[in-house]
A and B are shown apart, each in its own frame.
Chain A
Amino acid sequence: MTDISRRIFVRRGSLALVALGLPPAFLARSAEAEFRAAIAKKKTLICIFQRGAVDGLNMVVPFGEKAYYSRRRSIAVPAPGGGRNGAVDLNGFFGFHPSLGPLHDLYARKELAVVHAVGSPHPTRSHFDAQDFMETATPGNKSTRDGWLNRVLAHTPCECAGRTLEDARAHAADHAAGQVALASTSPSLRGVAMGSALPIALRGGHPALAIDDLARFGVAGGRDASLESAFERQYRSGGDLVSSAADEAFEAIRILKAANPLQYSPAAGVQYPAGPFGRSLRQIAQLIKSDIGVEIAFADIGGWDTHQAQGGAEGQLARRLDELARGVRALYDDLGDRMNDVVILTMSEFGRTVAENGSGGTDHGHANCMLVMGGAVAGGRVLGEWPGLEREQLYEGRDLALTTDFRDIFAEIATGHLGAGELERVFPSYAIDRARFRGVLG
């Protein structure tokens, strides 16, 4: 049996297999198993965007810096040893905000790395512009229409035999028409965002889906199979863009239904925090565990724009960090062994001022911190170059200075973990230099 015949699946029947003179059912089953195995080994990246510019200096606290305490008289987090309100020591200089406690043993197990003083070189302090710049990975360019994650998908090989992805749309149409070898997944399911609209990061030529509620994904909330087939009949064999896109949608619906969303239970002992963030992460875990080929998942969490009454070890920011940590930890535990093939990455559009302001909060700043988690992560370290918090070391005299461009972290993960190629097209107008990678993946 040649490679190709071994991997052929047919979407709607076994005609092709029969034509090759092969017994369809047996082959379908074994090839199916092989397909599932291939998919299960596929790598996944989960991006969590903290919208609103999280205060990185209170998230991963530089308790070794005197200036941190002199500039934050009321909101600084005490150094480790300061009772239960003290930072959780990471390496003698940095510590987690106490609310991030649930993530500490991931750090101790070397499965969590922190990158500090990382972010965008662009001076904008507009949330709006900066989020766009980070999601398109083209700081300063307001006209980029597609997102970096979409471009990663377009430049990461799809699990089907020998087909380049130069034209992602044509590729998707091939899938829809059953023209490619591996048809048991849908290209639309390679990249998934939790929510009702696709974030800019996932927008672009490669198909991607926004899913609000897995259990109700489909026509009329998935409650009426006859409606679904009525529409399918309408769109079938239209032979054009609209029909192949609709075809893709129905295929994705079918695959998702087969993943049996109503029956899902997280792993024993795992409890996601209540609220939309917890729900998003739980659905991501569910999708990954269904082996339907999700390679990129995206969720966001807001409430980080703490201009007033931010609090220190306790208070507003502490509560947000608590939800973040409990959610991420639940996700980590729910995925269990699969975390060997998964990387979770947090990000935020910029950081916040070193000094607290007159309202017990912080204003828009510059560099920030990111958390990277997973079995493949070279964890147990705080990566990057710490520029210091003395006035002359600050950006514009007020903010944490940047020593790592966020694109270097994105690129290292895109290529090292997901296997993306042609990085100059994934990160246009930016020269990727592996020498600048921080070694998040060792």
Chain B
Amino acid sequence: MRSGATERKRGGGWRGAAGYGVWLLVLGTVSPVAAAQARRSGGDSLEAVHLLRRATFGIRSGDVGAVLSQGRVAWLERQLNPERIADSAMVLRLSAFPLAGASASELIRDFNPPPAQPGDTMMTAEQRRQRQQQNPQRILADLVGAKLVRSVWTERQLEEVMTDFWYNHFNVVFNKGLDRFFVSDYERGAIRPHVFGKFETMVRATAQHPAMLFYLDNWTSSVPDSMNEALMARRRVQPGAAAPRGARGINENYARELMELHTLGVDGGYTQQDVIEVARALTGWTFTRPGQRGARRAAQAGRASEGEEVRFVFNPVMHDRGEKVVLGRRLAAGRGIEDGLDVIHLLATHPSTARHIATKLIERFVTDGADPEFVAELAAVFTRTEGDLREVTRALFTSRRFYASANVGTKIKTPFELVASAMRATSSEIGPSRPLLETLRGLGQLPYTESAPTGFPAASEEWVNSGAMLARMNFGLNLASGRIQGIRPAPAASRAQDRPADALAEMLGRLMPGMETTALSQSILADLTASQADSPPRARAARALGLALGSPEFQRK
């Protein structure tokens, strides 16, 4: 294979046939078939890079080659069917974060410290340690750690990327009360299984999950009559099925966000009256309450509560059985859970929803600017397939519009994407790491902690400000030098220094295939020459890597 050096001097970069020379360098160990393909069209490689940048959490060595050798279509198809992809290496690494796999009732049992007694002003060291153990923030640490492991190490990259997208779309925040115990199961049970399934199924799954019901207060939403004992008697309700304490009428919060954020979109054509009617339809959608007296006492006495799983329940006592009209559709009086199910069906299949979902997908995966034609194209697929997300996702990543040059390399990675892509590029091992969580928090994107139901923003400019840029540079330096406690990047290759410029160019080519890195290379080389002449090779390599990970080029995707 030709050495990359001569090719590079012709000015490799995004465009131009000369670009393929850079590919030869990058493709290192790829099969002859792939190499031939690459020679035939550098364009194919550019598209492979673009696809990888958007459909995975970052490019690793060999990724581009894999896409080229399988062919983009086949690679994507495999990613769209994640159950066909073995993933044991990632699963093994999850063991460092056991709380991420715990059920809600396990977490409630283990993380509810008993209240202190009056007169209890000082704690013994043992009591203090026990309290620490029961601090629910430990759950968040494991949740984030597990998410990082998945994002960095899973072979099912697209599934994980889409899980991230859909969790954000149906956002629930960790820190609010019981949600601290529910979020883990929410992502596992209501989001990930449905990312390539039917949209309506995911809406229903989130609508019935205790995490969402608690977060947006639907769990206490009830028809005011439910406080009426005589009415309850007439309905011959079981004791214990009473409305939760605090239920004081209809709560519109979830109904509004269901329409505004999850389905139709803010301009989707619903009115305030529709919000009220949807809220009425969803009264009674609640969950078995772990705070029920018996369960808590049992938990505190250390007794396992049999059958105390936290789960969705439809409470007919709380339900408003009157007739409703939603978006012009009449829902007959006297029904129960069907009211809510019908509303969900109506919203999920509404044309505005197709457009809204298409818009959000394009905003996240294609461009910060508007692209009404692409939206129409994708919305049509959504409607034609009745919200089949595998079909919609396939259409998104195979459309010619996705590959338009105006969309290539023009978005900025979000903080999480920066961290994940840097750790993928450096094959970082991930252990519990307080400093990494603080870095993500400092960058404004600690997963699961966005308090607004709108989720984290997708537009690049939301993430770019002076403090954030500084934090990104520092993160790059800290990761490269192995200074982030709990995170171990693979050692930066530090080969013989007789051709430092080549080694540097090769490293940049590996980190950022397809990007124009000549200027960056020169800049880093200048720094190494000027300030690091006496440093050991390991330190020089780490410094160069840090400068690369913190560079403007590496912030792009």
Contacts and interface: CB of A to CB of B under 8 A. Distances in A.
Contacts of B526: 230, 233
Given A126-B176, A233-B523, A241-B460, A253 B470 contact: yes
Nearest to A195: B442
A85 interface: no
A219 B551 CA distance: 13
Given A128-B175, A219-B473, A308-B120, A243 B466 contact: no
A315 B466 contact: no
B467 interface: yes
B120 to A, nearest CB: 5
18 contacts: A186-B466, A197-B442, A207-B466, A207-B467, A210-B467, A219-B470, A219-B477, A227-B531, A234-B547, A234-B552, A241-B412, A242-B412, A243-B552, A245-B466, A246-B473, A253-B470, A309-B118, A359-B118
Interface string B452-476: 1110010011001111111001100
A308 B470 contact: no
Interface of B: 115-121, 173, 175-177, 412, 438, 441-442, 444, 451-454, 457, 460-461, 464-470, 473-474, 477, 520, 523-524, 526-527, 530-531, 543, 547, 550-552, 555
Closest 3 pairs (CB-CB, A-B): A360-B118, A248-B466, A230-B527
Given A234-B551, A246-B470, 11 more contacts: A142-B453, A143-B452, A169-B461, A207-B467, A208-B465, A227-B531, A229-B527, A242-B552, A245-B468, A359-B115, A359-B117
A249 B454 contact: no
A363 B304 CA distance: 29
Given A234-B547, A242-B555, A309 B467 contact: no
Contact of A210 (B118, B442, B474): B442
A316 B452 CA distance: 33
A97 B438 CA distance: 35
Interface of A: 74, 126, 128-129, 132, 142-145, 169, 172, 186, 188, 196-198, 203, 207-210, 218-220, 226-227, 229-231, 233-235, 238, 241-243, 245-246, 248-249, 252-253, 307-309, 311, 315-316, 359-361
A71 to B, nearest CB: 16
A197 B465 CA distance: 13
A226 B530 contact: yes
Contact of A245 (B119, B464, B474, B524): B464
Contact of A128 (B176, B412, B461, B464): B176
A234 B521 CA distance: 10
Contacts of A316: 121
A36 B177 CA distance: 48
B275 to A, nearest CB: 14
B468 A219 contact: no
Nearest to B528: A230
Given A143-B454, A145-B457, A209 B466 contact: yes
Contacts of A220: 474, 477
A223 to B, nearest CB: 11
B118 A308 contact: yes
Given A197-B442, A230-B527, A307-B115, A238 B552 contact: yes
B355 to A, nearest CB: 20
B438 A196 contact: yes
A232 to B, nearest CB: 10
Contacts of A198: 444, 467
Contacts of A132: 451-452
Nearest to B446: A197
A234 B176 contact: no
Nearest to A356: B118
A126 B215 CA distance: 11
Contact of A249 (B176, B451, B470): B470
A242 B469 contact: yes
Contacts of A308: 115-118, 120
Contacts of B464: 241-242, 245
Residue with the greatest number of chain B CB neighbours at <10 A, chosen from A132, A234, A359: A234
Residue with the greatest number of chain B CB neighbours at <10 A, chosen from A132, A203, A246, A308: A246
Contacts of B442: 196-197, 210
Nearest to B527: A230
Contacts of B470: 218-219, 246, 249, 253
Contacts of A235: 469, 552
A420 B452 CA distance: 27
Nearest to B261: A143
Contacts of B474: 219-220
B313 to A, nearest CB: 23
Nearest to A189: B466
A259 B412 CA distance: 33
Contacts of A196: 438, 441-442
B446 to A, nearest CB: 8
B116 A309 contact: yes
Given A207-B466, A233-B523, A246-B469, A309 B460 contact: no
B79 to A, nearest CB: 29
Given A198-B444, A219-B477, A129 B116 contact: no
Nearest to A310: B118
Contacts of B454: 143, 145
Contacts of B555: 242
B531 A309 contact: no
B523 A208 contact: no
B121 A128 contact: no
A307 B120 CA distance: 12
Contacts of B412: 241-242
A226 B534 CA distance: 14
Given A126-B177, A210-B442, A231 B550 contact: yes
